[in-house]
Structure 1
Amino acid sequence: MAKIIVFITTFVTMNTLFLLPVFAQTSPSAPVISSQSAVMIDADNGSILYEKNSTIPMYPASLTKIATAIYAIENGDLDNKVTVSENAVDIEGTTVFLEAGEQLTLRKLIQGLLINSGNDAGIAIAEHLSGSVNQFAEDLNNYLKNKIGVEQTHFENPHGLFHPDHTTTAKDLAMITKYALKNREFRDIFGTVEMEWHGKSWDTTLISHHKMLKGEIPFAGVAGGKTGYVDQSGHTLATLAKREHLNLIVITMQSPYKREAYQDTASLLNYGFDHFETTTIKGLSKKDLSKVDFNNKEFIIPENLTYTHLKNQDKVTKKMTKEGKLELYNQNGERINSYQLVEAGSDQEDKKTEPVKKEETSKSGIYVTSLMAGVIIAGFIGFVYRKKRIQKNSYRSFM
């Protein structure tokens, strides 16, 4: 029995000692940041590459305007004239100095909203599209939930000025930004550094407030951005950056100082570009669709699937679920991405394959699982040993 105990102790100890160095070798250390909440995702496929408190509700401040802008682009006529109300003119905070009765196109208001963060432009857009700010908030929330699919966002206004119930999460904001970037009109405005502005009472050049986008804080590849700040939210920042074949979105929230929001963003982008790459499941075309047979059903992969992963974690395991989800796992057993495939012959056959929300699996969870496996095996050995002792004693009692 003493030998068995020594074996069990050795097994569990070795299982503990040899697990940690593996992670040190295969997984580079993520940056330590000051922002209370942050997330970095692949802008093309939505793979989550870094997160910190990314599902905790926060005040977004002017990052709200990303949602307002894409909603207005998709639900309004950009060439329509909008008449500015007294209510819009009276709004506090950053404005583009609109005048009551002034008429501008919806497109120009969206430009003033995103480039100069004009709160008055936000009110004018809301009243034009929905008749009132309250109705616009209801319409916007329905759109974000049903069209984009975010679940932890509730907005009370189009601009992000403080309201205790006006909250979202870093992850939701990243997904909203990812969705918005599919729209060319949004991308163009989101990436505009400066624009001539000719208003009724204000002729100027609008210049983006985002220091990395306009080059005040140099960072190669920054292609779009939005800033935000109210006292209750701290500094919030949304950034799009592109290098080679990797497009990244970084959201930071509740940064105590403006410089730290940018430092955190730069650290995360460097981490992303240095350590991640995107792989494509190739060989897919409209003429010769890839098919997967599973559970007596045939599923179709109607387009190229991409997933983003650590450069040294290129061994990917593919699994199918009975619901027709194709799941991709890295060499540590962490799920990278999941795609809902389309059943062959269904009326959804032409539908694009969309990523399914990622379920998080932490490294500590893998460690605990491995350690528990060791305990279970050790327990099983002990059980077998005890059973043999009992059988042996029982045999002796019949002698």
Structure 2
Amino acid sequence: MKKFYLKYVLIAFVICSFILPKTMEVDAAANIENKNLQIYSEAVVLIDADSGEVLYEKNSKEKLPPASITKIATAIYAIEKGNINDLVTVSENARNVDGTRVYLEAGEQVPLKKLIQGLVINSGNDAGVAIAEHLSGSVEQFTEDFNEFLQQEVGVENTHFSNPHGLHEPDHLTTAEDMAKITQYAIQNQTFRDIFQTSELKWDGESWDTTLINHHEMVRDKEYEGIAGGKNGFVQEAGFTLVTTAERKNISLIAVTLNSMYSQQSYDDTITLLDYGFEHFETDLVLKNEKFTDGFDHSFLVTEETSFTKRKGETIEKEVSPSGELIVKGEDQRIIKEVELDQVENKVKNEQMKSEIVTNEEVVNDKKEDLHLSIIVPTAVIIGLFISLLFYFQVRKI
């Protein structure tokens, strides 16, 4: 019985010896820096806007109400799925929505782009409803279309939005991680970026003429170096929420904070995150069509330009894995990035091999003979051994 248990202990040990190093490798890749920052918001995340690498997180997968930062998602959806030059007729339903507004009037016709600007810059809930009804016919249908877009095209995993503006509903939830992903997707669009970084905009409406002032203090004041855009939010159930983008010479960052107790707390946490990112990290590139060679002189090309994040000033190594992927490693041998490669075929050798196979019948016949031998010889040996064993047991009986 002891031998039986010992056998399974040995098997478990062997399995663990293969699994554990890989697990540790993934953890090392995920945690570029491990530093405890003084953060007060319930959930935060800081990512490299180009590579998507998570540089710092706290409860980043926790589902929480987002309040008006929902409008980032509504804005990019409207830009991509609508025609920004369309005239939108405002409904009574849109005109009467609760919360922050741009004071649209029922029957007023407003260009879709202007509604998106009012939605993002002044956080107009009425603009959000008008957009939803224009794109999908109703807010209910919009939420179905909207969530499908976010899941299938943006790639969120823990988000469900019940409206286009962020007013509280029990199942209107997201995560810091998903909001960073939505923002990363959105800022690839130039129209969105232009609106996202607008600090003020003249507004001529049917019943309201004013200058819209961006509700995000860091975008409005532009006192923080490199600030590139942002959106804030607040409802009682969500606390204060904030999404901020900033860029400097060597890196672009996205910071998300959810459920801060005070407005200033959300800004303090954001500055802490951005300072940390700019101080410690930089973005580098593996260029498209960059060539690499493995240990067997096989050549490979990078299929597309790929960003990766490294520690500031860090020397990195690039090597081709046995499976044909480019592995980017840091100074401590942690894996920073794995990049897909295409193997470069040696066309001259391939053509020569094809020619020899087609034209040289002797070679073809020799290969056939070798194939027969490779089957016949082992078979004959096995049969011989079988006959010998039968003979041996017969002799023992005698």
Alignment partner of 1:68 is 2:69: no
Amino acid paired to 1:51: E
Alignment match, 1:254: 259
Alignment match, 2:115: 109
Distance 1:231 1:281 in 2: 45
Alignment match, 1:199: 205
Question: Is the 8 Å Cα contact of residues 38 and 252 (structure 1) preserved in structure 2?
Answer: yes
Alignment match, 2:291: 290
Secondary structure in 2 aligned to 1:213?
A: helix
Question: Is the 8 Å Cα contact of residues 281 and 312 (structure 2) preserved in structure 1?
Answer: yes
Alignment match, 2:236: 231
Alignment of 1:234-245 (within 5 A): 234-245=239-250
Alignment match, 1:165: 171
Relative distance call for 1:311 and 1:174 in structure 2 (3 A) is: same
1:336: how far off?
3.0
Alignment partner of 1:221 is 2:222: no
Q: Gapped runs of 5+ residues in structure 2?
A: 1-31, 346-398
Question: Is the 8 Å Cα contact of residues 294 and 320 (structure 1) preserved in structure 2?
Answer: no
Deviations 1:204-244 (A, max 9, x none): 0001001111117x211111000011111111000011111
Question: Is the 8 Å Cα contact of residues 86 and 100 (structure 1) preserved in structure 2?
Answer: yes
Distance 1:96 1:336 in 2: 46
Secondary structure in 2 aligned to 1:212?
A: helix
Question: Is the 8 Å Cα contact of residues 65 and 122 (structure 1) preserved in structure 2?
Answer: yes
Amino acid paired to 1:178: Q
Question: Is the 8 Å Cα contact of residues 317 and 330 (structure 1) preserved in structure 2?
Answer: no
Relative distance call for 1:111 and 1:58 in structure 2 (3 A) is: same
Relative distance call for 1:296 and 1:156 in structure 2 (3 A) is: farther
Which segment is superposed worse, 325-334 or 75-84? Answer: 325-334
**Residue of 156, 162, 183 corresponding to 1:150:** 156
Relative distance call for 1:340 and 1:230 in structure 2 (3 A) is: farther
Relative distance call for 1:295 and 1:172 in structure 2 (3 A) is: farther
Amino acid paired to 2:97: I
Alignment match, 1:365: none
Relative distance call for 1:296 and 1:86 in structure 2 (3 A) is: farther
Amino acid paired to 1:141: N
Question: Is the 8 Å Cα contact of residues 318 and 328 (structure 1) preserved in structure 2?
Answer: yes
Relative distance call for 1:315 and 1:85 in structure 2 (3 A) is: same
Tell me the TM-score normalised to structure 2 length: 0.73
Distance 1:344 1:144 in 2: 37
Alignment partner of 1:121 is 2:138: no
Relative distance call for 1:86 and 1:321 in structure 2 (3 A) is: farther
**Residue of 163, 171, 188 corresponding to 2:194:** 188
Amino acid paired to 2:212: L
Relative distance call for 1:76 and 1:273 in structure 2 (3 A) is: same
Alignment match, 2:147: 141
Alignment match, 2:269: 264
Secondary structure in 1 aligned to 2:219?
A: coil
1:73: how far off?
0.3
Deviations 1:76-133 (A, max 9, x none): 0000000001111111010100000000010000000000000000000000001111
1:309: how far off?
1.9
1:342: how far off?
5.8
Relative distance call for 1:299 and 1:105 in structure 2 (3 A) is: farther
Tell me the TM-score normalised to structure 1 length: 0.73
Distance 1:66 1:344 in 2: 42
Pair member with larger Rg: 2
Alignment partner of 1:84 is 2:90: yes
Question: Is the 8 Å Cα contact of residues 69 and 110 (structure 1) preserved in structure 2?
Answer: yes
Distance 1:256 1:133 in 2: 30
Question: Is the 8 Å Cα contact of residues 302 and 339 (structure 2) preserved in structure 1?
Answer: no
Question: Is the 8 Å Cα contact of residues 79 and 107 (structure 1) preserved in structure 2?
Answer: yes
Alignment match, 1:336: 336
Distance 1:321 1:106 in 2: 52
Question: Is the 8 Å Cα contact of residues 54 and 169 (structure 1) preserved in structure 2?
Answer: yes
Distance 1:95 1:199 in 2: 12
Amino acid paired to 1:190: F
Relative distance call for 1:29 and 1:295 in structure 2 (3 A) is: same
Distance 1:280 1:291 in 2: 14
Deviations 1:302-359 (A, max 9, x none): 333221122264344656484x6544343445443344456779xxxxxxxxxxxxxx
Secondary structure in 1 aligned to 2:241?
A: strand
Relative distance call for 1:124 and 1:299 in structure 2 (3 A) is: farther
Distance 2:322 2:171 in 1: 38
Alignment partner of 1:311 is 2:312: yes
Distance 1:292 1:74 in 2: 41
Question: Is the 8 Å Cα contact of residues 168 and 235 (structure 2) preserved in structure 1?
Answer: yes
What root-mean-square deviation, in Å, do the aligned CA atoms of Structure 1 and Structure 2 show? Answer: 2.5
**Residue of 243, 262, 279 corresponding to 1:274:** 279
Alignment match, 1:19: none
Amino acid paired to 1:307: F
Question: Is the 8 Å Cα contact of residues 30 and 271 (structure 1) preserved in structure 2?
Answer: no
Amino acid paired to 1:215: D
Distance 1:344 1:79 in 2: 47
How many residues matched? Answer: 314
Relative distance call for 1:114 and 1:27 in structure 2 (3 A) is: closer
